[in-house]
Amino acid sequence: MQCGHCSADYHPQTAIRQLGQDADLFWQVEYEPCPRCQKLNIRLVGGRTEATGLKAHKLTVVYPKGASRKPAPPVRSDQS
């Protein structure tokens, strides 16, 4: 997991707040604090409940706003 604020890699202890079922999906908010910058990374997840847990169909990053879940570009350069 990479922090959307400071880009620190961290092992999240994700907290979940379940919102409930609507006509299509089950919704929950997942969030974890970054141990480096102490800010929360918050996602809204809509999915279907399966035996292994919630399978996400929709994922929206709530905070930091504008961040995406795209794979982070490589930070280290092999050219140095």
Nearest Cα neighbor of 25 from 43, 47, 49, 56 is 47
User: Should residue 9 be labelled a site residue for Zn ion when binding is judged by CB under 5 A?
Assistant: no
Q: How far is the CB of 26 from Zn ion (least distance, A)?
A: 28
The C-alpha atoms of residue 47 and residue 25 are separated, in whole angstroms, by: 5
User: Should residue 34 be labelled a site residue for Zn ion when binding is judged by CB under 5 A?
Assistant: yes
The C-alpha atoms of residue 47 and residue 27 are separated, in whole angstroms, by: 6
Q: Would you say 36 or 48 has its CB closer to Zn ion? A: 36
Return the residue of 3, 42, 45, 54 that touches Zn ion, per CB under 5 A.
3
Residues in contact with Zn ion, counted by CB under 5 A, come to a total of: 7
